[in-house]
Structure 1
Amino acid sequence: MNNSKSFFYARVSSSSQSVNRQIDCIKEYNLDIDERDIFIDSKSGKDFNRENFLLLKKVCRKSDVIYVKSLDRFGRNYQEIMEQWRDITSLGVDIVVLDMPLLDTRQNKDLLGNFVSNLILEILSYVSEQERLFIRERQLSGIISAKKRNVKFGAPKIQIDYHSPHFQHLYKSWKAGEIKTKYFINSLNLKPNTFYRRIKEYEKTLR
């Protein structure tokens, strides 16, 4: 009797990202996986301090199968991907990477099959890391180039017309204690920190 279970692991880099595209693979590939056997993390792949990933490794047993949509769900670092792959398979647990059919440890269990799978894994993991480093290097080069051209980063500075009747009326009423600070801030549609910086900036022009 086969008592093996199937699990699905999904990961997104932040809580603002959607995991639906990964979860949809379960239906797309007609996988028989119970909802309670789906493990999801929403943290960066820079490390493996991920609660559900660690829990999955604890609950899976020999002959179980872990499905992932893509290899980089195990991490974004060549060494970490290899370590996690070997750690899981050493337990007798199979791994299936859905978008890379060759990475299916259920197939070709013989020595040659394992050799080919491990070779493919090493190549893909290495390429994945090199691509990540290339993207980071290109972004850094772009930032350096932009700074040389005096390109400003971040949100544009909120401009206030200090000479407008609207601002002048609010400022004088505020200084006279006729209106509260909160009312002044809301009238200018500013955040408190920005408000105080702008007031300080304006008052320097009065000296």
Structure 2
Amino acid sequence: MLLQALEALLLVSALSLDALVASFSFGVEKIKVPWLSALFMSGICSAFLAVSLLLGSVVKPYVSPHLAAVLSFLILLILGITRLLDSAIKTCIKKSCTKTKDIKFKLLDLHFMLRIYADSTEADVNHSKSLSVGEASSLAVALSLDGFATGFGAGLTNANPVEMILFSFIIGLIAIRIGCAVGRRVASSADLNLSWAGGAILILLAFTKLF
């Protein structure tokens, strides 16, 4: 039970690093993230995780324990490797997206989500220096993509969904507030990228599925 809780905590912490880095960027740029926007961000990320856990648990009865472990391993390993390469991926997206200078805000616009994936401060579309609920929601969707795949893999195993969702919401909210606070204190053009750390944790968790 304790080991399962620790694994869930590590998994959610790895997924929350993106929210931490994004919030750090907002703090550096002196963009405020009101409590309501932070709650929406954490809530949407947790909702994506909840849906993916549910899907994984629905598929689980039709998959053998061995195959479930292998699938969970592969999902976590691929996501971990992707995060290790995240810096290069974001650089490519930035170069591609800068070709289009005019951006119109749409809640689920793919081009917009790619922009904020590469540079979180792009979420403040109206340059109000305050992240609205709508802007926070689009950012949360972009940040939730990894969590959706990871949650599906976790749902195939013996993960406790209630525990993971609760951890996700609380840790996500804490990550947002800490990121903003630290970013405001730094208040420089520092470029913090912790994607590699999240990737390393996911790869570590992947190999635990083989034992």
TM-score (norm 2): 0.26
Q: Which has the higher contact order (CA 8 A, sep 6+)?
A: 2
- Which of the two has higher C-alpha Rg? 1
Kindly indicate which of the two structures has a greater share of residues assigned to strand: 1
- More helix by percentage: 2
